[in-house]
Structure 1
Amino acid sequence: MVIRVDPKRLAYMAVPNAACSSIKAALAAIDPTQDMSDPMAFAQKQVHSIYATQRFRRHRWDQVQDFFRFTVVRDPLKRLLGVYTNRVVGLRELHNCRKIKRGRVNLTADPDPDYFFQNLCGYIAVSSSVKHHALPTAVFTGIDLGRYSQVYRTSDISKLQDDLSEHIDSPVTIPHFNSSDAPLTLDDLAPETHRMLAARLEEEYRHLEGYFANPFITKHVSMAA
């Protein structure tokens, strides 16, 4: 679903684990159909009920051609690692998974990061939340990023805030949600996990090659040198 603020001529395609809670709160605060103008007044669950994150559909995007159309993308590796730190460790969502709780699958609700990523397909099969947050960026943005007025990286949030303020001719504040106190890096993971992640993210890095360098290719070239 396209997230639309029609009176402001804004259209946003949200990507899970790419600052979408923060951006939804900012849009809700300037949306005349909502009751609050302070983005920090919205709870995270509330903004997701106001604006659902859904897959890209071309026919819906074509309806907002005269809007300021934008999306925000995140480095694919950091985004996928965030599934573990946020959904598994922070929110402990696997403890709500019925198949794991009832012992129907040979998976733990408290995996270490290597176990989780080496068994990611299994966790995707039993957890709708893991599946939703681990889907490739293109599922939500579409393949052709040229359809957007602007594509921002998560590191460009301040630029997005300025651009939205200019577009609506009024200050826009994008709050900061979902930061991790202990983010993962490749150095925290085993070589076997590196290989699994490299294969899984190869196509996604090709899709976003104008925005992020593939760390697995960089690592390979560096080691070869």
Structure 2
Amino acid sequence: MTVMLNEYGLGYLSVPKVACTSIKAMMFEVENGFPFRPFSANGQMRWIHSFYPSIPFHELKRGRLRDLHRITVVRDPIKRALSCHSNRVVQHRELSPEIAGDRLDGSGLPFDPDLPTFVRNIAEYSRRVAEIGHHTAPLTVFLGEDPGYFHRIYRFDELPEMVADVCRITGKAVALEVMQRSGRSAGAGQLSPDETAILKDYYAGDYAIFGAYF
């Protein structure tokens, strides 16, 4: 499950690269009364996603969400893909030889791809490297295909309104802290027409189902 605040009748379904780390940290503070900070236990680091994993919609125990006020946040898929490249590829180097290793060996795919290379091969990078696949998977993977399932879907630029609503619903005065910091993502205008077309095709289902919110 992602976040279920049963005490407050609130459920939040998360999507990677849609401020989910920050939103989960805020929800943790609502639930526990203190801010989340990563910590080590038994020699392993525990991150906010250890407590609230983003999981595919078909794996959700939706019966546990039935009586909750269900919310989510969506973002233009092209901007998600650009953010993935900036954060996961450039900053965290998840497509480097040291990390991707033999998952890319023999594939013909370059390590540490620049943005055009990444976009033109997004499907294959996502298939071969699970970390990239998780962060580039379509919205529909995490949210299903029925916007009507949610009581409220917030656009990415409506995050302040979402925070205000969470505070009102829970009676908790919390704020949204930026938890994932990386270099500035490229703008969609830096993509060629062919690259834009590739991403629009890759995320065609998202545009068809959630396009009204972009």
**Short-chain TM bin:** 0.7 to 0.9
**Which residue matches 2:10?**
10
**How many equivalent pairs are there?**
207
* Unaligned runs of at least 5 residues, structure 2: 40-44
1:127 aligns to 2:129 (yes or no): yes
**Which residue of structure 2 aligns with residue 38 of structure 1?**
35
Q: CA RMSD in A?
A: 2.1
Kindly tell me: are residues 184 and 63 of structure 1, through their superposed partners in 2, closer, same or farther at Cα, counting changes over 3 Å? Answer: same
Q: How does 1:49-88 map to 2 (within 5 A)?
A: 49-57=50-58, 60-88=61-89
Could you tell me whether the CA contact under 8 Å between 1:99 and 1:105 is conserved in 2?
A: no
User: Which residues of 2 match residues 137-148 of structure 1 at below 5 A?
Assistant: 137-148=139-150
Kept in 1, the 8 Å contact 2:3–2:27? The answer is no
Give the 3-state SS of the residue equivalent to 2:213 in structure 1: coil
Q: Is the 8 A contact 1:2 1:56 kept in 2?
A: no
How do 1:1-225 and structure 2 match up within 5 A?
1-32=1-32, 37-39=34-36, 41-42=37-38, 46-57=47-58, 60-95=61-96, 96-100=99-103, 103-212=105-214
Question: After the TM superposition, which of the residue ranges 46-55 and 107-116 deviates more from structure 2?
Answer: 107-116
Question: Which residue identity is paired with 2:19?
Answer: A
Letter in 2 for 1:109: F
**1:137 partner letter:** L
CA contact (8 A) 2:73 2:155 kept: yes
Which structure's relative contact order is higher, taking Cα pairs within 8 Å and 6+ residues apart? 2
Q: TM-score with structure 2 length normalisation?
A: 0.87
2:77 is matched by which residue type in structure 1?
Answer: P
Shift of 1:57: 3.1
Identity %: 29
SS at structure 2 position matched to 1:164: helix
